[in-house]
Amino acid sequence: MTAGIGPLAALLLADGRLPVGAYVYSAGLEPAVAAGLTREEIPALLRARVRTVCVTEAAAAVLAAREAVARDPVDYGPLQRALAARTPVAPLREVGAALGRGVHRLALRLAPGHPAIAALDTAVLPGPPVLRPLRPVVTGALGAVLGLAEAELARTVVYDDLQAVASAALKLLPGDPLDSVAWVAQTASSVEEAVVEAVATSKPSDLPARSAPLIEQWALEHARTERRLFLA
């Protein structure tokens, strides 16, 4: 049991070397490039994500973390449903569940038998189709168990998304790898705005829902493509 490891948890969860399968995810960059996005536009794509999908996911993680410690019995169902309703396109829900499965495996290893992790079964939506726990729900539950503060958790979720784009750029639109670091660093003030909004969210029905219609369209195009490096 590794519960309550505190600040180290943020570094572990945000590390690209974390073996939970996130390398299959370009956070929408591969379909964006297929639709014509250029390397010069990547900082703008990061700004788009940090104002839309990142806020929703960070807020969902924060609510999951609160649910993990506050209630008995823990029920992630309403949150999972709220997050699914704010993820209108099916391929993005499927990817969220696939990525959630990786973090879930990690959670079972780090905190076996912890009630907040065992309760992730309550996040399964019966469907059809069945929707397994989405990644922000699982990350939030694990973050709470590890003793991560809410703002750190929210920042970790946003950072992970932006870093997924920036590091996928090395494969999809190669250039100076130092650019990737600079792009993410430039988003700092927007990241903090997203963190503040995520932490201020009080219940699933208030979960932010700002959508990015082109990101959704690209995800639908990507799901139909046979030639691809990343799941999404």
Q: How far is the CB of 74 from other proteins (least distance, A)?
A: 19
Q: 69, 127 in Cβ contact below 8 A?
A: no
Residue 47 touching other proteins (CB under 8 A): yes
Which listed residue (13, 20, 45, 59) binds other proteins by CB under 8 A? 45
Q: How far is the CB of 85 from other proteins (least distance, A)?
A: 4
**How far apart, in whole angstroms, are the C-alpha atoms of residue 87 and residue 215?**
11
Residue 195 touching other proteins (CB under 8 A): no
**How far apart, in whole angstroms, are the C-alpha atoms of residue 6 and residue 61?**
16
Q: How far is the CB of 143 from other proteins (least distance, A)?
A: 24
CA distances from 3 to 109, 114, 116, 128, 142 (A): 11, 9, 11, 35, 9
Which residues are 131's β-sheet partners?
125
Residue 96 touching other proteins (CB under 8 A): no
- For other proteins, the binding residues in 124-143 under the rule CB under 8 A are 125, 131
**How far apart, in whole angstroms, are the C-alpha atoms of residue 143 and residue 66?**
10
- Using the rule CB under 8 A, give the single segment among 64-72, 76-84, 168-176, 191-199 that binds other proteins: 76-84
**How far apart, in whole angstroms, are the C-alpha atoms of residue 56 and residue 125?**
19
Q: 100, 141 in Cβ contact below 8 A?
A: no
- For other proteins, the binding residues in 97-126 under the rule CB under 8 A are 125
Q: In this structure, what token pair is assigned to residue 205?
A: 């029905």
Residue 8 touching other proteins (CB under 8 A): no
Residue 131 per-residue DSSP state: B
Could you tell me which of 132, 2, 119 has the C-alpha nearest to residue 65? 119
Residue 85 touching other proteins (CB under 8 A): yes
Q: 102, 22 in Cβ contact below 8 A?
A: yes
| CB-nearer residue toward other proteins: 89 or 118 | 89
Q: How far is the CB of 180 from other proteins (least distance, A)?
A: 17
Question: Would you give the binding string for other proteins spanning residues 210-229, x where CB under 8 A is met?
Answer: xxxxxxxxx-xx--x-----
**How far apart are the two ends of the chain, measured CA to CA in Å?**
33
- Using the rule CB under 8 A, give the single segment among 47-55, 111-119, 136-144, 166-174 that binds other proteins: 47-55
| CB-nearer residue toward other proteins: 113 or 126 | 126
Residue 196 touching other proteins (CB under 8 A): no
Binding site for other proteins (CB under 8 A): 28, 32, 37, 41, 44-45, 47-49, 51-52, 81-82, 84-91, 93, 125, 131, 205, 207-218, 220-221, 224
